[in-house]
Structure 1
């Protein structure tokens, strides 16, 4: 297989400061794989045989609890490393990653992870920083669900998504991937009915617009004030 172009990843935070020769060596172990919309990159509890960096598209990461409830854990955007179960000492994937649009990822065999991080310690450091950021986000969401009213939780969720994957459009900041009201309900620990009522009220107030699984934050400042009030 021909070597991958290192320009695909050279600008990613995961490989910040890496010499070109190191990138060539790391990419030699990877292959690009396309995941059509609606397909699973991996399934919860499946043996963790690979780890990934998303090059194009968006993924939804979901976890099914022991009593059958589905929770949206997070969304993966281009440039992110994911599926790093081995780095966390896990033999299986703790959640399912689904392509919500046609997506492309670089895929490495999990067995090369120990060798890569031993030879390139910065890879381990950068991965640890990424995991730390996700852990902090998870802590924030736990505190919100435990202490905040639903309206504030939904406002915080939309603001986070706008920061993570927002695209400036004429009407405001559009969350640049398909997201449903059910997704937001699962992210914030509430019901579809409640999220629909809140978003409909915000649409009337001019805070957001929605439709066809697209949400645009029309007034981020007012939404921020609502979240922090």
Structure 2
């Protein structure tokens, strides 16, 4: 797996400009974890000691409210840095990071952040781009939750997920990681009953196919209209000059939106297998 890991690392935006020797050195400095879906990479409120790169799979950022409810803040696709609060001067993690499916996560001690930023072409720029994109998602989701009806929010959430990690299957585009109706409710500020009712109705109308932990969008154009989006589904993202191709469905991502919550200490994940950091 070592050569495969090096090749995968070299295709990610933060390290795309590195030669094989540099990739080998970077990989040697990392801790590589192969995690099953549902593993907690780090907890909200936990001290930040390492920064991470998702090599494959998907990560959910989750917040806990004071009453113990979960809110899914963001999904992180493969190829992105996460847990990088140290670059903002944060001391503790503001979210809990949970693998949405089987994932490979690389991590490095915090002191290497400055080393990588100074030594690797494009590393700091990619980190800044990641911050900017997530800030945009958070701002847009806040507006969405404040202005859109619940069916519009759910439509936008599904489109956003196929834009980030969708894969083409017979009949449409499938969200590229396990997703339950409760997950969708947690993302959109509504109830399981409402999500189940809407998805069942949309399935009868030919907009989606929904089965256990899997959702396929069968008519993205109609769902986009329903969500009030002006994005053109299926339009390709401009190709980057560094040759990196994002490993997901080639649709324009519907940008995410998030509710800002008061930080709380992370507890209440007894069913999740924690991973030491």
TM-score (norm 1): 0.92
- Distance in 2 separating the partners of 1:178 and 1:137: 21
User: Which one is further off, 141-150 or 5-14?
Assistant: 5-14
**2:13 aligns to what?**
13
Superposition deviation, residue 107 in structure 1: 1.3
Deviations 1:151-191 (A, max 9, x none): 11111110000111111011100001110111111111111
User: Which one is further off, 115-124 or 210-219?
Assistant: 115-124
**1:129 aligns to what?**
129
- 1:67-82 paired onto structure 2 within 5 Å: 67-82=67-82
Deviations 1:64-108 (A, max 9, x none): 134433110112222121111211211111111112322211111
Q: Is the 8 A contact 1:3 1:27 kept in 2?
A: no
Q: Is the 8 A contact 1:3 1:28 kept in 2?
A: no
> Looking at both structures, which has the greater relative contact order when contacts are Cα pairs under 8 Å and sequence separation is at least 6?
2
Q: Is the 8 A contact 1:4 1:28 kept in 2?
A: no
**1:104 aligns to what?**
104
Count of residues paired in the alignment: 228
Superposition deviation, residue 3 in structure 1: 9.1
- 1:193-204 paired onto structure 2 within 5 Å: 193-204=193-204
Report SS of the residue matched to 2:10: coil
User: Which one is further off, 207-216 or 26-35?
Assistant: 26-35
Aligned CA RMSD, in angstroms, stands at 1.9
**1:184 aligns to what?**
184
Q: Is the 8 A contact 1:45 1:94 kept in 2?
A: yes
**1:158 aligns to what?**
158
**1:174 aligns to what?**
174
Q: Is the 8 A contact 2:15 2:120 kept in 1?
A: no
Unaligned runs of 5+ in 1: none
- Distance in 2 separating the partners of 1:151 and 1:85: 33
Deviations 1:114-150 (A, max 9, x none): 2221333621111010111111011111000001111
- Distance in 2 separating the partners of 1:45 and 1:3: 36
Report SS of the residue matched to 2:63: strand
Match status 1:59 vs 2:65:
no
Structure with the bigger percentage of helix: 1
Unaligned runs of 5+ in 2: 230-277
- Distance in 2 separating the partners of 1:88 and 1:195: 36
- Distance in 1 separating the partners of 2:57 and 2:183: 17
